[in-house]
Amino acid sequence: MNDFTGKTGLIVGVANKRSIAWAIAQALAARGARLAVTYQGERLEENVRELCASLQDPLLLPLDVTDDGQIARVFEAIERGFGGLDFVVHGAAFAPREELSAPFVETTREGFRLSLDISAYSLIALARGAAPMMEKRGGGSIVTLTYLGSQRVFQNYNVMGVAKAALEATVRYLAADLGPRNIRVNAISAGPIKTLAASGISGFSGILQHYRDRAPLRRTIETAEVADAAVFLLGPAGRAVTAEVLMVDGGFHATGM
């Protein structure tokens, strides 16, 4: 059920070796998938190229998810290189650092717009581009990454929590829209992991310790555990699962005081 031989997918959101999107890419490649992996700007290109040297014949593409022209060119390249698409992993998320450190009531209009554009609207844009190519394969699966800050207040998460709430609503609406075309859309809500994105959140190590103290498993989670959940959702084992937010957080979401 976890064999991805002959399957092709798009991975968006790899920044470095600690990225959750990279862990998912490795898990899928190990199961036979051929991948198109994007990088955001020249600053991250070298990192992504070095990582992808370990993959089997990957397609590396630049992508700024706020640029519709670049999104279109990514799917044109995938069409030429793969001829179709079976799955998409959406790991794009961003909020300006100052929007995370200032009180939420001081969120700027531009900071709000940028955070929602990159973190939520980009999923719509990628789904729109992927859908016709997935239909050629008889359907497909899309997975995005969210966090419990969409539902609860976490210190210094601020506008990113609002963006993740919008992302989760987007998952449900896309799932309803694309389901008749046999395209599934789900999210994984992972516990806190030391990624590049997390480095912008003040007091992050305190959040990690709180999870260790309170989560039923009494530990934080690893990127490989999120990757295993993604493999389930993207593959045939998850064929009846859509519009879901799957919690992979050691059970922390179920706890109270």
Alpha helix locations (H) across 179-240? 204-214, 223-234
Q: Which two tokens stand for residue 231?
A: 């493999």
CB of 117 closer than 8 Å to CB of 158 = no
Tell the residue number behind the tokens 């498993």, with chain if given. Answer: 217
φ, ψ of residue 81 to 5 degrees: the values are: -85, -35
From the candidates 39, 157, 173, 211, give the one annotated as an active-site residue.
Answer: 157
Smallest CA-to-CA distance from 99 within 19, 191, 202 is with 202
The question of whether 211 is a catalytic residue gets the answer: no
Half-sphere exposure of 185 (CA within 13 A, CB side): 26
Beta strands in the chain (DSSP E): 8-12, 34-39, 59-62, 87-90, 140-146, 183-190, 245-248
The DSSP secondary-structure symbol of 191 reads: P
From the candidates 39, 147, 173, 211, give the one annotated as an active-site residue.
Answer: 147
Q: Which two tokens stand for residue 24?
A: 């998912």
Q: Which two tokens stand for residue 177?
A: 């829209």
Q: Where in the sequence numbering do the catalytic residues fall?
A: 147, 157
